[in-house]
Structure formats: C-alpha cells, structure tokens
Structure 1
C-alpha cells in the first residue's frame, strides 16, 4: 500500500532555528488536511516530503509516486499550459503528424489520445483553455487550476498541495473542492479553507509539540478540539488548586519548624538537660523539619510545572482573542458614495464600468465576482490610489486598505515602529500592549516586517490599523484570509466582529464572510 512515513523527522531554518523535531507520522491513501499556525513549518514539511529540502534529523520514506502543487507558481518566459503537463514536445509531434511532416519514428511514438486527455484534465478543474495558452496570460487562480490539473494528470499515489484554493474565485474554489472530494488517492493538503477541509478524511495538526492526527473532517476536528480545550482548562484549575494547597502546607511546615527551633533554644537556655542530649535533639528536629520543608518545596515546584504545562496546552488550543476600541460610526452616516464610476489602469480600457454604490453607517459589504472583474481595482479606487475615468467618488471619512501585500507597512522597519508611525504620540508601552492583543508579544513586536510570513504580515497590518485608539471609520480588505492560518482567521473574525466601523471586503471565503456578519453582497460583472 502506498505510504509516506516520517521517522524522528526534524528540520532547522538556515539560521539554525529549529522549526520542528522528532516528528513520527504515517500518511496513507487518505485525504489529510495539514493545519497549524503560521511559522510552525507546514510548507517546510511538504518541501521535505517532496525532496526539495534535506532533513536536519531523521528521514522521510516514500512508497509510491507523488505530485506537488506549489503555493506560488511563477511561469517562465514563454511557458504554456502544455509545459505544466510536460507535453510540449509530444503535442508538437501530433501537429507535425497532422500536417504530414512527421517522421516514421515520430508516428510510431505518437500519442493521439494526449490532447483529449489534457482537455479532460482541464475540464475537471473548470478551466476553459487549451495547451497552447501562455501561462502569463492566466490569472494566479487560473494558473493554480492548470497546475492542479497537470498534477492529477500524472496519476500519482499522493498529491502534495499547499493552499490550493488561495487566489481562486468562487468558481475555481468550487472546482478544486469538488475535485478533491472525488479524489480517492492519498493527499496532504495544507489549507485554511474550511470548505475544503470539510472534504478531508482526517486532519493532521502540526504544533510546537509535534504532529497529531484527528479522524474525520474539519467539523469533527473542531468538536474534538473543544473537548481538549475544556480538559486543559480543567487540568489548569486542578494544578492551581494543588499549588495553592501545597503553598499553604509549606507555610505551615515552615512555621512549625520555626516554633520547634524556638522551643529548643528556650530549653537550652534553661539548662535542665545535658548539653550532648540537647545537641542530638536539635539535630534530629532540624533534620526532620528541614526534610519536610524540602519535600513540600519540591512538590510546589512540580505543581508549578503542571500549571505551566496546562497553560501551554491552552495557548495552543485556544484561539486568539482581540478587543478593539470604537470607530464611532453613527447609523445613517454616509461613509462612501460611488456615482456612475468608470475606472481602470489603461486609458480607454476600463475594468469597471458605470458602478454606483452607497455605504451608510457601519454596513458590512462583500464585493464578489470572478477573477478579473475588477474587485481589487474597486478597492484601490475607494482608497484614493486610483482616479476614476468617469463618475464621482465621495468618501468623507478616513479609511485603511489592507491589500494582499500589506503595502501600508514599511518592510524595512519593525512591527512596533510601523505601529508608532501610524499612531504618533503613542507610548512604547501602549504600542506593545496593542500588538500583544494580536499575539506580537515582547520581542515578537520587534520583528522586521520584511522577514514575516504572509500571514504574519497581514496580522501585523491589522494590528497597526485597528489597534490604535481610534480605528478608521472605513476598513477595506482585499482577500484577507488568503495567507492566514485557521487560528489567525478565527482571531480576525473575532476582531472584525468587535470592529464597529464600516467594512468593505473582497473575499471568496464564504465561511469567513458569514462569520463576520456581512449584510450585503455586490457581484461585479466580468
């Protein structure tokens, strides 16, 4: 049976920082969703399995064939869909054969079924394109679908997929989710897409403590985690009660020893007992009382370790919690008006045509539409980064745009310095307190933005925008969940539900839109 086995696997970053160690796990012919917080090493683990990196410790054993879909597909100059299938030469032979210019050897080797099989593979991912289509002409989501079709085309025993639904529009996401739901081979899928994780046979969670398997899909996993979190809170409560009881016991033993020592000194002062006998009793009392105090102190240390262990489990199990100040947006207040707006990046070639929109009060509006329909262009227009070709944009309030690159942050500065730049006059303690709410505690707040992962960067952007004393009345978000892990998505959902300003969000993540209470959806035509 095909299998991928991890044996005491460990890997360290180039700077020597240990990412994970001692992983023992076996992947078989089932679809496993690999989850975990950003930075814990999910993509690195896939790279080790794919042979793209060398383990620091242990090894990976693969029994079967694997195919890899990478997170970022940057096409080479002139590359076409045929190159993804490694079929350019074979298709060229068929073209020569049809034109009557192929050699006899080429005709003998000609695979006449190849074009139809490639067409079927592309249709499986709902992509209307032909093998000669240049990859540079496809959107990021279309390239992802083409790459997935090519991976499946090789009929592997295992698929390794890193965030396969990132950057896909609704049609593309549905196609990938449906395809993986039909897949009966092995698959290791790094994803935060809850709809995709619902189709998995099992969930594997990678944490700082190791890797653990949970049978069933996303819903089964969350139910189990809720039970584990309740157990961790129970263990913490029990450990704290034990520590308090031991503290009282240690205090009592210490006081008793002090009373005995005081009584011995008074007896010695009276002189009613031989000196040698007094010395023996004193030594016995000191030894007996001291041993009891030492035992109690050791038990106290063990209780403190139990408390620390329970708190560490809760830290891993419990989602981030964020509290935000008010944006002070009154109901009925006009936040944004678009009046018959036409806009684009190239003169005489608009992407948006005759768009009208009004947002009043703390509305929550989702902008949907296929890739290429102009969703990101609309957000840039509202933010003031782009001027309309026709029509009027009226935005009487401040806003903040968090695009997919989080361009509002200076990558050369620390998170703390970026926060201080956006909120002048904020004390250093207040900066660190605000960032701590987004899990950038202590030295983590001093990280240079350019060194952060995609998910960490977006979380830092949200912290810098929403963590100040007065959040902007209008927040624009462009695919905010694309690079976030599931815990961070839960935290952002909680934070955005605490945000009481107006919200305009571009997202294909239906679960996310439902969780943040979207009140209106506007679909842009293609």
Structure 2
C-alpha cells in the first residue's frame, strides 16, 4: 500500500510543557480516511501539523502534493469578506483593474490563468447551497454554517492533492450536510476528515484511530470499524477472563504449596521432639525442608506474578471510556412555572398565533420570494418557557437560531440563565480550568471545584491546564462544567450546537450530564439523533421567512 501522508516520529507540546503528540508514527493511504479518537487525543493537533499550521518539536511529516485544510473554527471576526475567505480578492482586484482598462503587467501576473475565478467561485458557492451569499459580503454577517461552507468552497477552489477537514459538519443544517456529503464523495484527491458525523464517516474508505499515542488503521467505513472494534473487545474481554482465572489458579496453588510445606515442617519438628530421629538427621531434614520451601515459594510466586502481568496486559486492550457523573438537584424548577415570556417579531408582517400554547394561527401570506408558506403552521408571537421543559430549536443555517438564544439572554428570565455559545468563547484562555470555574463559583473552595471538575473528567493535572491548550471537546467539557457549577446554578440552560467538536464518546457523556439537569433546557442543534436522547418535550423551528413556530 502506498501512503500519501507519512508522519515519522512526530512530537508536539504546548509551551506549558503539555505533550499532545509524543513520538507519533502514522501513515494515511490514498482515498478517504476518517480520523477518530477521544477528545484530547491530538486529532486536531495532528491535522494542523500535517497542514503546516504547527511545527513539531521533533520528527517529520511527508505529504504528496499540496495540502488544503479546513479548521474546526472558521474566523468570523473583523472586516474580512467572502472573497477574502475564498482567497481570491487579489485576483478579483486585478481582473477588475484590467476590465477598467489598466493593463499593468503586475495585474496579469496576479491573474495567471484564473480569468474565470469569479465564475468558478460563484459556481462552487451555488453547488454548496450558497448562491445567496455575495462575494463582497462581510464574513462576520454569515451564520456559523454558512462560514463553514464558504471555507470548504475555498479549499475546493484551490484543488489541493490532499484535503484535511476538521469537524466540517459543525453548525451545518441538514441540507448543507447533504451538500457536504456530496462534495466529499466527489472529491478526487486524498482526504482525511475528523468528525463525529455518522453519515459522513459512512463515506470513508478506512478509519484511522488515534488511541494510546498510536494510530491504528481499520479498513472500511464507520460501521465496519465498529464491527472490528466490537470483535476486538470481545476477544480482549475473553482474554481478561482467562487471565483472571489463571491468577486465581496460581493463587490457589501458592496457598496449597505453602500449606504442604508448613505441614512437612510441623511433622519434622514433631519427629525430632518425639526422638524418632537423631538430632543431626532432624537438622538435615529441617535444612532441606527450608531450602525446598524457599524454592517452591519462589516458583509459585513467580508464576503468580507472571499471571498478574498477563492480566494487566489483557486489561490494557479493553477500552474503558470514562463517563461524566453529575448531580444537579439545585437546578430543579417546579413543573408549570413560567420561566420566560419573550415577545417575537415576525418577518414580512406575518401574523402569529397566541404562541403560549402553540395554537395554529391564521393563514399567513406568501414569503417575500413569492413561494407559498407551509399550511397549518403554528406561528408563535411570543416564546413562553415553563417548568422543566426540554425544547429543541431547529432551522436552516442563517435562520436566526443563535440570534434567538441571545435575545433570551438579553431579555432575561425569572430564573438564573446560562448560555453555551457555538464558539465556546466564555472562558479565559489564559486561566486554568480550575480558575475559570472558581471565577463563576467564588464561594466554592478549591477542593470543591476540583471535585466537581473530576466528575467532568478533569482530574489531577488536567484541571490545572490553561483553557487555551484544550482540545475542542475538552474545552466543551470545561465550559459545561463552568456553566453547571456557576453560583447561582442555572435553571434555564441554553445550548447552541453543543455536539460540535465532540467525539462519539463525548456526545454520550453530554447526554448523561444533561440527563442529570433538572432545569429547563433549550438546545439549538442539527443533530437529531442527539436531540432524541434528551427527552425533548417541544420541537420549535426557526425559519427565515416565517419566524418561530411549533414544528
């Protein structure tokens, strides 16, 4: 098998001394590879090293051809435009200059052979569902999903031989995800994708798992990988059971051997005491018994240690994904209590229903683009949240879900509210995880904070790491720990795309943590399987034209 990417004994650590990759060897073949691993295992760091975004402390990376890279978080700040994000602003400026009559040689040098760069850019945006996004639009005005798709278009336009994608389905609605799946399926080069999206991982040719500081390749897609891992687990658990049985057997044999030797010693002493054998003979027998006892004890002890060693080795092969453990009784709110009443504005003058109970409103006019509205739509003119409701907020990219969550925060509720944004920017990167939690829970002692963080899998030195050095999934756990540990504890929790950057184990851990939450919950997400694990009681849909409605 030929490999397009070779990672040779690469090490990388953060300035505080935290090692992320330590002498890692890996090789990625042609085709599409899904890169899996627990949060914090170094997946994103590995992609950045391959892309040249990070320089390893030691080792080397060899890549066949040009590399394109789509990071987890696409920058949305500043005055950059879509054209800037597509990296075609210079060529567009040169084209426009030539079209206006400026024939300076530097313009032709910049353009090269890309005389159709604007047409290709618009065609790619259209293919990815972004025909409505202008090239001169400011990136800061894009939704998270739109920004991801523009950044993907930028990489495809460059036509790299190797394309690296880090959680590309973050923030994408269902339609955008389908378009991304099609783009991945059609990509002709080498592709490595870090993702927790099952549908996307169903399109890959092999799975590479980063686990225990090594990369293991599995042929086939995610389903094939899970079958192989399940078979490995079953074999590993059988080996553990066999090793446990061997340890018990060796322990019994050691006890039995000691019992036999003790009995021989007692018999020798009795024989001497009863004068059945001469003293010199008894002394010889005693010395022989002691030597024999020592040899037997050493032999059985050695066999027992060997059996314990085999058991330890077998246990290492069994996967043990830690689980978040959270108890949050202080977050409980009485059933039926009104926590929030938020008046809503409707696009295009659409009329709405009462909204408090989601009754169906009168017939609404057509959308601004002339297409008919959905019949029987239960449009809301105000959002009312009561008791420990669990509300799912759905809607396409750019429809205003994040804006609605921010409005809830700004409007205020009758109970403490906490908001988990998409970009997880509520923590101080320079402070440790412990200090960030202490900042929102000043009355708690350091030991109390550490105990809480341990339940979120931040134990020992992990809790002292600066937030800026955490992986996406670790940062999410730290942010969730801070929100749920805040004083006063939140009784209304708002989550915006919470499964972004989380591996499958972490998504399960998040579900466990939210199962312990007793307050009201509003979750904006495109991850329907995840939402279905939360016991959702109301499904709302935010639409660009129709506003908020009962789905």
TM-score by length of 1: 0.82
What secondary structure sits across from 2:306 in the alignment? helix
What secondary structure sits across from 1:524 in the alignment? strand
Listed as ranges, the gaps of 5+ residues in structure 1 are 343-352, 388-392
> What is the rounded CA distance, in whole Å, between the counterparts of 1:115 and 1:407 in structure 2?
34
Distance 1:461 1:25, change over 3 A: closer
Q: 1:341-392 deviations in whole A, cap 9, x for unaligned?
A: 79xxxxxxxxxx9851233444321122344444334334434xx13xxxxx
Distance 1:231 1:438, change over 3 A: farther
Question: Please, which of 343, 346, 364 is the counterpart of residue 390 of structure 2?
Answer: 364
**Bigger mean CA offset, 188-197 vs 432-441:** 432-441
Residue 458 in 1 paired to residue 462 in 2?
A: no
Residue 225 in 1 paired to residue 251 in 2?
A: no
**Bigger mean CA offset, 203-212 vs 190-199:** 190-199
> What is the rounded CA distance, in whole Å, between the counterparts of 2:524 and 2:235 in structure 1?
38
How far has the Cα of 1:54 moved from its partner?
A: 3.9
How far has the Cα of 1:157 moved from its partner?
A: 2.0
> What is the rounded CA distance, in whole Å, between the counterparts of 1:157 and 1:456 in structure 2?
31
How far has the Cα of 1:160 moved from its partner?
A: 1.0
Distance 1:231 1:465, change over 3 A: farther
Question: Please, which of 236, 240, 245 is the counterpart of residue 240 of structure 2?
Answer: 236
The equivalences for 1:23-42 within 5 A come to 23-42=24-43
Equivalence for 2:533: 515
Equivalence for 1:92: 93
Q: 1:256-299 deviations in whole A, cap 9, x for unaligned?
A: 33333333344444555455544443333223222222232233
How far has the Cα of 1:198 moved from its partner?
A: 2.5
Residue 479 in 1 paired to residue 497 in 2?
A: yes
Question: Please, which of 223, 245, 251 is the counterpart of residue 247 of structure 1?
Answer: 251
Question: Please, which of 405, 409, 420 is the counterpart of residue 379 of structure 1?
Answer: 405
Residue 114 in 1 paired to residue 117 in 2?
A: yes
Distance 1:83 1:418, change over 3 A: closer
Distance 1:3 1:457, change over 3 A: closer
What secondary structure sits across from 2:5 in the alignment? strand
Distance 1:142 1:406, change over 3 A: closer
> What is the rounded CA distance, in whole Å, between the counterparts of 1:486 and 1:472 in structure 2?
26
Distance 1:374 1:45, change over 3 A: same
The equivalences for 1:345-424 within 5 A come to 355-383=381-409, 386-387=410-411, 395-404=413-422, 415=433
> What is the rounded CA distance, in whole Å, between the counterparts of 2:54 and 2:425 in structure 1?
30
Question: Please, which of 497, 504, 510 is the counterpart of residue 522 of structure 2?
Answer: 504
Distance 1:432 1:234, change over 3 A: farther
Residue 493 in 1 paired to residue 511 in 2?
A: yes
How far has the Cα of 1:17 moved from its partner?
A: 4.2
The equivalences for 1:51-200 within 5 A come to 51-74=52-75, 79-102=80-103, 111-128=114-131, 129-200=133-204
How far has the Cα of 1:505 moved from its partner?
A: 0.6
Listed as ranges, the gaps of 5+ residues in structure 2 are 347-378, 545-551
Q: 1:53-112 deviations in whole A, cap 9, x for unaligned?
A: 444454322223321223334379664444445433433343233333325896795643
Whether the 8 Å contact between 1:435 and 1:467 is mirrored in structure 2 is no
Whether the 8 Å contact between 2:142 and 2:398 is mirrored in structure 1 is no
How far has the Cα of 1:212 moved from its partner?
A: 1.4
How far has the Cα of 1:399 moved from its partner?
A: 4.0
Q: State the number of aligned residues.
A: 508
Distance 1:500 1:202, change over 3 A: farther
Over the aligned positions, Cα root-mean-square deviation in angstroms equals 3.8
How far has the Cα of 1:31 moved from its partner?
A: 1.2
What secondary structure sits across from 1:4 in the alignment? strand
> What is the rounded CA distance, in whole Å, between the counterparts of 1:40 and 1:127 in structure 2?
34
**Bigger mean CA offset, 207-216 vs 436-445:** 436-445
Whether the 8 Å contact between 2:324 and 2:457 is mirrored in structure 1 is no
How far has the Cα of 1:488 moved from its partner?
A: 1.0
**Bigger mean CA offset, 6-15 vs 485-494:** 6-15
Equivalence for 1:49: 50
Distance 1:297 1:82, change over 3 A: same
TM-score by length of 2: 0.78
What secondary structure sits across from 1:480 in the alignment? coil
**Bigger mean CA offset, 476-485 vs 19-28:** 19-28
> What is the rounded CA distance, in whole Å, between the counterparts of 1:381 and 1:76 in structure 2?
20
How far has the Cα of 1:159 moved from its partner?
A: 0.4
How far has the Cα of 1:478 moved from its partner?
A: 1.9
Distance 1:495 1:311, change over 3 A: farther
How far has the Cα of 1:421 moved from its partner?
A: 7.3
Question: Please, which of 426, 440, 444 is the counterpart of residue 458 of structure 2?
Answer: 440
The equivalences for 1:300-311 within 5 A come to 300-311=304-315
